[in-house]
Structure formats: structure tokens, C-alpha cells
Structure 1
Amino acid sequence: MKFFKASASTSSSNPPPTNVSLISHLKVGGAGQISWNDDIAATDTVKTLFNQLAGLASVAGPYLQTSLGLVQEIFAIVQDLKDKDNWDAYIELARKAMLALQDLAVSEKERGRLIFPGTDAAVLAEGINKGLKNLQDQLQEYAQLSQPKRYLKHSDHKKSVIKLATEINSVISHFNLKGDLEKLSQMALSAENVREKLQQVSPSIRAEVKRRSTIDESQVDHRPASSHQQYSITADEASALSELQRLMKRMYFRGEGEDLAGVFDEDSNEPPNSEQDSIDDAQTALKLLDELCKVDDSFDNKKALGQIRDLSYFLDRLGLYEESLSVVRLFAALCRRKANDQEASALDLSNQAFALMCLSGSLHRVGHFKEALASSEEATAMFQKMAYREPKRYNPSLVLSQRLLVVSMIEFGRLDEAVRLCRQSLDILRTIRRNKPKTLTEEFAGTLLNYSNLLSETGQHNEALEAIEESVKLWRSLHAARPAAFQSVLGMALNNYSIQLSDAGRRGEALRAIEETLELYRSLHAARPAAFETELARTLANYSSRLRDVGRHKEAREAIEQSLELWRSLHASRPGAFEADLAGALHGYSVQLSNAGKYNEALVATEESLRLCRSLHAARPAAFEGELARTLQVYSIQLSEAGKHTEALEANEESLALYGSLYATRPAVFEADLAGILHNYSKQLREAGRREEALKAIEKSLKLHRSPYAARSAGREEGLAKTLDEYSVQLREAGRHKESVQMTEESVGLYRSVNTARPQPALKADLAMALGTYSNRLSEVGRHQDALEAVEESLSLFRSLHTARPAAFEGHLALSLNGYSLRLVAVEKHSEAVQAIEEALRIFDSFADPGSAWFQGAHSAALDSYSTCLSHVKRPQEALSAIEQAIVIVRPLYDTDPNAYQEAFAEVLHNHSQRLNDCNRPADALEAVKEALQIYQHDGLKLKGHADALDSYAKYLTATGQDEEAAEVRQTAAVIRSDQALE
């Protein structure tokens, strides 16, 4: 998983992240207008007030939408609970809360302003929202109890509702200054109100102090032991925000005469704090809080603001993100008030912008992405103005604000804008470093890393690789000078570098890079397990992928299992924070299970990953659309392999719709992916009997694979070769045999080229399969010796692969032996053919997963071939027994899924008729071939087998004295062959 790359949501067993549940019942019209959901019961007064307030959403912005979502959600839960005892209390609370918010929104509208994050109005609005959210949490907790437990807890629940109502009423009581926003503002940021809000975080800090006193310091992970704060940000995003926060901490509140840019000089950079050297965060936070609560007058002096800022920093380090956000809101509002003063200095303005950056990071951490974006946009706009006037002083600050804005843009899928912003930042940094080469090295390296990952996400792979190589070089120089300070961030950069090297096909270098990363993180994790558990888990997952790329599958599976174990542990403690990471690990695990031939276990892992992805996508569609599409595609393939073709097609169609949307906005990024999806979709359409649609889909896929965009993508040759392979199958079924052979020849040529350039087991397997298909096509056009040579080469490759990894390639080897036996029959080497097919059947007898639909179909085909081989060595009764075993296996498959098994079943029935005829049972042979012909005729298969079956039918008719009918049948067979020759 890449730095700053979003990827999956809360599972059905966990409550959704905060920002999701707030709007889950909101009714939003086509024009974005919010209105009351009529499916939810409430009084007319509440509904009317709700709809009036919805009309002010454009003024109050995300705060009001959050409020409306909370009110709607509360009544939805109450309706499910049938909580009549507290109905009047809920109605009164909703009415009072919405009236107070209406007063605030109207006042802001009259002044012509929005309720921006970090304003005094936002502090007031958030006070109401926090109370409503606490009530919603209480209701959700009560609703999750069983009916008997609800009955037992009824009295406690009522007391909790009364207590929460009192708290909300206390907040609302401040709104008795209707229309007087100036007095409201003074009240919101009064020393008394600020002190009261600061004191509210004390219980959480004291609880953390108590927790830390009971555990080993090496296990302290700066997160509460049982936090209820579950948000949909990934571990990557959390790391990014922590790094930005550390950089911002160095820039706050410099003296009036100090140069802000100077704090980034090489000599003044402070290394990141370590647990060993830092004093206890919880005790420090308590000390700061005690000092702040002694303040009697204004909190907007430099000392108090600095202490509030530091308090939020330590709360973040403790993992108390909600408490930190509450403090940062006050901090930003106080800084804004000071900056709005007529006597405000340039330093006051820059401090306001810094406070907005800090607020954006806190909002992002708890999943308030729209507010986070608004805060970072405002901060960047402020620094742009200041940097225009004084570039030397403010450009470093502008660069940092732009990095934070990029994080928010990515959440909403605004990747192209994020790329442009990164370029602006790099231009600024290069200009500064031109005169001072040692200045801003850390910021330059970090911005290059983000830029590289964004370029990769937008399909600019060569430029991405150049950028990350420059970034890694800079991180190496910083690490060489101060290993302890930069060991972790060098590991992160190498992790990303490994991914991009792999994407570029440089798999050996990619493995070496990830091995270096793993060594760095194992060392860090050994010293501080809790602090580096996420980084080690992520590195192990990437290590598994790189091992798989070079064919070291056993080690790859062991690595992903270690990674998955770590992610499960992290997810159990904080589901919202680690959901995407767990989904990604499950995806990697599923791939490894498939490679090991454990298809049922792979499907189970993918289903779990898909549940997580769906939930994350529901919470943040733009950020997780690609991950959901990818997971659905894997799920579709695995369902198809399990014989669940209808479900597979449905999953593929859902994936295709998502990829189509992604491709429409970013063709360079998603063209190769869309081509691959269309390939799989076409294959499944063919298996469903929808051949015309299948042919159109595969031709679209082929067109995309040959496009300029796709030609630049990593793995282009493999994707094109696979598509040509499938296209050849469909051309064959359409009776276009010459074109089919041409497509297969091109496919084999591509696989040879790729395998020569990058000789790896996965590519060797692809070449072996392509040669097997090529052998089949050559045989169908009568080139039997060429067909034998092709399958011999395929078999040699599969024997080599099977020796190295028996479980993964036993099925492929058995199928290759099956094809080999038929090619030997075609050149009349019948004894060798029997030996080959008997070896295949021995493999099937010991197969690891005999219950799968794939195994049953392949086993049936092998028995069919065995029957043919036995027939040629004059063992008719054994041949008949073998084909009858094949029928017993394939008939249920055909009955369950006719489209997928029609050709196989028709061929087995035809061969059965021949074996019956060999045993002097012409009447039975006649009935058997009739059933085969019914399938060929019903499904419209334009196959050579249809004409062959007609020939057998004519032969049996003649044997039973029906010469006239036999002549007509032979004429029909001739017409079919003629049509196929023309096509």
C-alpha cells in the first residue's frame, strides 16, 4: 500500500465511522436539497423546523449537515427502539437544538459569511453537535442490546437520556442572545467558556495516565486501550498526518523578529522525538491543562495559545483525537479572533494559518473530511498571499500547507489538482535550495515522495520512478547523518520505491528494496513493538508481493500470514483506523491461497475483504472506488473458478461499472485495468452463453490493450497476451478458426518475449498455458505435428513448475498431460498416449481440492480423453467404462450451469456414442449422439465437434438401415464444414 494512497469500511458487526452514520438516513434530492425522510416518525414541528434549517445548509456548510444528519439518525434509532417513554424528551431536544442552530445560521447569513472551521460560530455549532452525537452513541449502544438486556437496562438508559439532555440544554442555554452574533462570539471564546471546554478533556487524560501506569513502557502505543473513536483513515494516512504535524510543530509562534523560513535550515532541524528521550506525554498534557485552567483573563496571549497548541499535540500523541479536536477548535478560533483585530500583526495572520493547518489535520484524523479540506484550503490561500509579498519568509510555510491540502484533495479523488499542487511546491523548494542546497532537505524529500505516488496513481509511471529515486537518495543522506531520526521515514520511502520498481517490471530490484525496508522496520519494531506494528505489517504485506513476483511462493505466503496476523490484532483494537489495511492484507492473502491451490479458502478471504471494502466505499466513495472495483474483480474470478457463474457475472458487472466511472475521469490510470476487466467479463459472458456480447467485450478489451496509454503501462504484454488468448477461444467458437490460430500465435509470441526478458515462474506458467491453447488451435486446423511440438514444450514447462511447487501446478500439469495424450493420438502414438493420460489421472486421484467445480470439469475431460486413448489400443470395454465415469461427473455440472459446460458435455456424449458403437451397441449409440446433437443445435455452437457428431449420427443411421436419413445428415455436416471454412 502506498503512502497517501487510500484504499476499504466498517464491517457489518461494527458501528460505522462517525461521518458515515450522520448522513445515512438523510434524504437528499437531485439538486442536493436536504429534506426530512418521511419514513422516519417525528412531530410536524420537528419536520418543519428541520426543512427550514436545511434551506440554510449553504451558509452553515458541513456543520449544519452534520446536525441534521444527527437529528435524523436519532429519530431513526428511536423509531426502531419504539422508545415511547423518552419520546417527549427527544422531541424537545431536537426542537431546541435546531432553533439554536437556526439563530446561528441566520446571524451568519446576515453578516454574509459561512460558518468556517476555526470560527467562533463553528465552536458554538460544534458544542451542539457534540451533545447530539453523545445522545446518538447512547441510543446506538442501547439498540445493540438484546431485548431482555434492554428491559434490564431500561432504567439506566432513561437516566442517561436525562443526563445527556441536561448537557445539551446547558449548551443551548448560551444561545439566548438571539441575533447578537458579537455577544455570541464573545461568549463562545470567553475565558470561562474556554476553561470549561479545556476541563472536559481532563478525564480522558487521567484515564490514560492510569492505563500507562499498569503496562510496560515498551508496549505504550500512544493510543487509548479501548478507544471508541473508530474512523476510516488508513494507517498510511495517519503516518502522513503525524509527519506533517511534527513539521508544523517546529514552525508555531516564532518571535516577531525571527525568520520563519530559517527554522528549516539544516542545522536547526530537530530529530523526531523518541519514546526513550521524551517525558511522559500524559503527565505533560495534565501539567499543561492545569496551567491553562488557572488563566483568569483572555486566552489569546502568546503563552496561553502556545500551551493550547502543545496540549493538542500531546493529546494526538496519546491517541485522544476527539479531545484534541475540541482543543484545536478553540485554538483556531482564538487565533482567528486575534488575526481579525485591527492591530493584528503579520505574525498573527501566519499563526491563524498555522492553526487552520493544525485544525485540518485534527479534522482529518476523526473523519471530518469536508471540514478538513475547507481548513487546509483557507490556510493555503492565506500563505499564498503572504508568500507573494514576502516569498523568502513565507514560502516554506506555503509548501507545508500545500502538502496538507494534497492529503485532503486525495480523499475526494482530486488527484490531478493534487499533482499540480505538488509541482508548485517542488518549484518553490527547488528555488530555495538553489541558493541553500542544505535547506529544507526533509521537506523536499517528503514532497518528492508524495509527488511520485501521485504520478504513479495518475499513470505517469516513468516520471514517478524518477521522482521517487530522487526522494530515496535524499532520505538516505538524511539517514546517514542521523540514523535514529530518519530510520522510519527511510523505510517508508523504500517501501514505496519497491512498489514502483515492481510496477516497472524491475522485480529483482524491488525485492532488494523491500528486504532493506524489512530489516529497518524489524529493528524498530524490536525496540518499540506498539509504535511500529503498523509499519511492520505493511512492509510484510509488500514483501509477500515481491516474493510472489519472483516465484518464492512459500515464503510469500508465510510473509502475508504474518502481516495478516498483525493487521487483525490492530483492527480488533481500532476497527475504523485499520479497516482498509486489513482489507488489503486479506486481498494479498487470498492471492497467495489461490497460488497454493487453496481455492475455497481464497474465496472466503476475498469475501471478508469485500465486506470491508463495501463499508469503506460507502463512507468515502471517491477514495475507495478503485479498491472496491479491484476486490470485486478478484471475487468474480474466484466465484467463476468455484463454478458460481451467475454470481461471478454479477460481481464482474458491478466491478465493470466502477472501473468505467474511474476510466471516464482518468483514462491514463485506468485504461489497462478496464481492459483487463472487459477481458474477464467477456470470458464470463461466453461461459453464460451470451456469445455476441462476449465477442464485443473482448474486442473492446483488445482495442484498449493496444492503445497508447496501455502500451506505457506495466505488464502491458501479459495483459494483451491473455486477451488474445481469450479472443482466439471466442473466434474458434464462432467458427473463425484461421483467425483463432493467428491470435494464439501472437499471444505465444508476446509470452515468449516477456519470459525471455523477465524469466520468472509466473511468466513461465503463462507461456506454458498459451502453448497449450496454441496446440489445441493447431490441432483443430489439422496441423497435428505442430500441435504436438507445442504441447510438448508446454508440458516441459509445467513439469519444471510442478517440481518446484507441486500443489500450485498439479492441476496445470494434469491438463497439459491430457492435451499431450490427445496430440499423441492424432499422430497415432497410441501407447504413449495411454501412458500420458494415466499419469494425468493419477494426479487427479491425489488432487488437493477434489470438490471444486474446476476439478470435476477437468477430471471429466481427462476421463473422456482416457476413453479415446483406450479405444485406439482396442480396449473397448475399459474405454466405455471411462466415458461413463466422465458422464456421471459432467452431467450434474451441465444441469447446474448449462452455458459453462455445454461443449464439454456434448463432446462427452458424442464420444460415449462412439464407445457404445465400438461395443456393438448401435441403437444405444444412436440415442447417445442424438442427445449430443440437441445440445449443439440448441446452443448454436459453431464447432468442428458438431459436424463430427453429425457424421457419427449418419454412420449409426446407416448401421440401423436408415440410409435416406443418413444422407441428409451427411449433407448438413458438409454445409457446417463449408461455413466454417468460409469464416
Structure 2
Amino acid sequence: METHDGTPAAEAAKRRDLERRVAALRRAAAVQPDPFLGELGYALLELGGLLAGDPDRHDESIGILGEAADAYRDLLALHGDVHLPGLAVALHRQALSLGVVGRREEARAAADAAVAALHRAIGKGVVEDGRGELADALVNLGNQLAETGRHHEALDRITEAVALRRSLVDPATGAGSGALASSLGDLGIKLGEMGRQPEAVDVLRQAIGTYRDAAERAPGARTTGDTAEHAAVAFALARTLTGLGRTQEAGPYFAEATALRAEVEAREPRATAFVDRLLNLYGYGRGRGGAGGGDMPGARDESGAGTRTEPRDESVPEPPGEARTEPSVEPSTDTRTEPSTEPRSAAPADPLPDIDRLNSRALALAEVGRIDLAVATLDQAVALGRAAAAADGGGARAAVALARTLHNLGLVRAWAGRRAQALEAVDEAVHLGRRLLVVAPDVVRPLLAEAADSLGSRLAVLGRHRDAVAPATESVALYRQLAHTDPLGYEGELARALNNLGIRLTDSDRHAESLAVTEQAVDIHRRLHRREPEKQRDGLVHALSNLALRLARIERADEVAQPTAEAVRLLGPVERMHPSNDTAALAESLAWLAWYLRKRGHRDTARDAARTAEELRRLTAKPGR
């Protein structure tokens, strides 16, 4: 017998009993916390886990597990570290549920807190051996980091989980090898998603070998979930080999995935839908005869990433026309691809001059609109950089050259409209720069500052505005350090980074903070303008128009007219504006400000702003501008 919603009757009865028990414990804990809070926390964990299995009740599960985490925090305050494991379990399960419903940033924060709680519990000796729980939490954190664009941090966490799982395998009995295989599968799939297919093949083969060994050692202990994961990893390996052109090697793994799926269907038919969802993550397609192999090879592109259409960039802010001083060069794309004229021989003893030369050539090609050739040239430079960094044994010179090249590759891919690939390259550059900052701070700090600013831009273009705030903030902090020691060299860059941080905060609805950083940008631009009036005029005009927009956002209407009027007065004849500046964005900002001021009775300033906006639009439309 089943209930109306398809839940087995026994499970539904268990859920109702738990709900009644939780309600009673809430009432008891409210009156006398100490005796009942522990029981409440445990009951909430059990109820939250049960609800998480129902797709229609994920949001409810998230709330229940959050309540469990709060209960364990209260217990920590009462009784100390002994309740850290309970807190970690609550946070871990909540992160999983948050990830399922797409609340990725919240999921990442919860997963990070779960890992921190487990580290602390292990360090304090509260748990006898928490390595297994920590490995699970690290994999979860890695997955959430990857979903928020922090792929290399994700790789670090999953690699750490694999090391823990290896340490837990019993060499005599093989106990723990199934969990190791699962972690190896996660690591291999992540490497493939990052474009590191040869490394992915090696790790995925280790995972398959470990799955097979675990099945041979204890066939009766293998669960349907283990079999499903084995199938997914076999299929991921087959797809990765196919992408590398090694189709003959891929064939047996396609067959293995198909056989494993059939095994799940035979053992537990209700689990087949789950297996298919898991396989669909890696491009699985059912053949006409019902087998899984027929359509598999054509399901995904060669990178191993799912085919999808990039979203159009429709993130025009309200009010529109933010004057963005981030890099805005958008060369027209030349779709012709020419063969590289660079030598294909082995890299010389010192490849760094070649890497620098390829970077310079690629940027020059991009400036004249030959984007595809610029990307190909930078791909070659990245390959040289990776080889040099590997040969350098951890030295900084080659790694810095690689980070710089990856940043340039991200910019050029963005100009080519390859937004997801651009994010991947810039994210790797930032991750590498963070590691190198301690080793070579003077060289790395300006590179990391620029790359972090670019990472914020790349995330924002993909609509991930809240995720973009953190790298933009990091960029500002780095530029502050640089400007403190070299004001002439870096104050302008600091002002630009502050402007971009203001945009990120505005797009995240953090308007008061956005106003504060925009005011800082204006102050710096005023100093720069006093020093070099002609050269710095356009930067101050953009900053003032942005300040007016920020004030309008928080309805400080009487203060909007002053920076708008100052921007128009400073600009003067629009022909003086440098063609490389974003005149279209400035025109849009001034036009919106004119509308806003007219509605609030500032007619003279509104008229001047509208006239200037129209002149800028005509200027933008001129050929060659």
C-alpha cells in the first residue's frame, strides 16, 4: 500500500511520528533547553534527512536542517566542543539540499562551515576517527565551489578527500575501497570538466579499477548506489576518451556503463530513473533498442561538458548605463582561422621569452579583430606555460608566466563570446596567483589584482552577480596595497577597481555599500584630475555619473543633480572625449539621469544632461569612433 503521493505507507507514518516528536521537543526545549536540546537536534536531523528524499519538500528540509544546526550551536555554547560532529552533520546535509535547489552560494557557505566544524572536532579529539565524514564533507564542498565558479579550489578539496579515502582503505580486506572509488570518480570528472582530459583519464581508470576490485572482494556488499556511481564513472571515462579521439579504448567502457545500468534495472527497477539522471549528467543517451550504448558517443561535446546555449547578456542594470571602467575593448570577430606559424619543435631551455612573445602577438591579433587566431596563439602559450611550470619544479617564474597567459586567454575568450571558457581561464589565473602571492608578492600582486577584477566581470556577465562581489573586493584590497606603496602607478587602477566593485554591489542589491565605494572612487579621480586635468577628465566624468546613479538608487534625489551637473560641465564639448572610453554607456547613464531629474523638478540640469547624452550618441554612431 502506498499513500496518495507515492511515498510508502511505512515511511509516511515514520515522517508523521517524527513531526509529532519534533513539535513536542520544541515545546520542551523552549521551557527547559538543557535536557531536551540534544534530543531536538537529533530528531531534526532525522526529519530533515527524511524530507530531503522528497523532491517536493526540499525547501522544508533546508529549514529543518538549519534549525538542527542552530540547536547544535546552542549546545556548543552550553556544553562545548562535544557537539561539533552534530553541527557538522546538520550543515553538511543542509548544503546538499541547498545545492539541489540551486542555492549554490548558500550551499557553499554551509559546506565550508561543515568542513571547518569537522576539522575542529578532529583537532580537539572529539571524534575517534572522523576521516570518512571529513572526506564526504570535502567532496560536497568541492562540488559547491565548482558550481560557484571556483574550480581550482574545488579540485583542491576533492584531492584532499581522495587522500583521506586512500588512508582509510584496509589493504587486507579492501574495506573502504568503494568510497575511495567514488572520490576518485569525482576527481576525474572534475579534471575533465576543467579541460585536463589526459589527467582525467588516468584518475577515472583508477576509479574503475577500484570499483571492480571492491565488487570482486565483496559482491554481496555492493549497493545499488555503488553500481550506479560505477556506471556513471565508466561512462564519463568513455566520453573523455572519445573526446581525445581514442574511440577504440572508449568502447569497452561504454559497454560497461550499459551493463551496469542493466544490472541496476534488474535488481531494483525503481532505481533506474535515478541511474538515468546520474548518467544524463555525463551525456548518456538511450539507444532505440533501450540499451544505453547506441546514442552515447554523440551526446556531448569533446570537452566532456554538456552542450548548452550560452545565455544572452541581458544584465542591463536599473538604472541603465553604468559607466564601467573595466576593460571594454570588444574587437569585431574575424572568423577565419589561420594555421599557427609558431614552431612546433620542443620548447627551448628557457621557454619564457617564447611565452611572452606569444602573449604579445595574441593581444595584437585581438586588437585588430582576429580573435580566433589570438585564442589559438594563447592556447599555445598556455601549453608552453604548463610544461615550463611542471619542469620548473614549483618555481615562481614559469608559474607567473602561466598565470599571466591564462588571464589574457580569459580576456580574449570573452571578446570571442566564449563566456564559460573565459571564466574557466580567469578562475585558474586567480587561483594560481593566490598560491604565488606569498612566493613572489612584488610580481604577483598587480597580476592577481587585475585577474581578480576580471574574474568578477566574468561572473557578472554570466549573471552570477553575488558571486562576483568577492573577487571584486579582493581586487580592491590588492590595489589598495599597491597604491599605498606606489600612488602614481596604481591610484588610477584602484579607482577603476572601486568603480567595478560598486557595479558588482549594485547588481547584488547592496546599494548603501555600492554608494560608499563609488564615493571613494570619485575622491581618487578628483586627486588624479587635479594632477593631470586633461588626461584624467574622462575618468572623473564616468565616476561622477556613477555617483549620481548610486544616489538615485537609494532615493537621495536632491543630491543627484550636483554630480550630474559637474559631469556635464567637466565633459564640455563631447568631441574632447577619448574614443576608447565607453561613450555609449555614459550616454545611457546621462539620458536616464536626465529623465530622473526632470521628474523631480531639476529641469535645467535635466536639459543639459539630455543634450549631452544625445551628443554622445551621435559621436558613438560616427564611423571609426
Shared fold by TM > 0.5? no
TM-score w.r.t. the length of structure 2 is 0.43
Larger Rg: 1
Which of structures 1 and 2 has the larger relative contact order (alpha carbons within 8 angstroms, sep 6+)?
1
Structure 1 length-normalised TM = 0.28
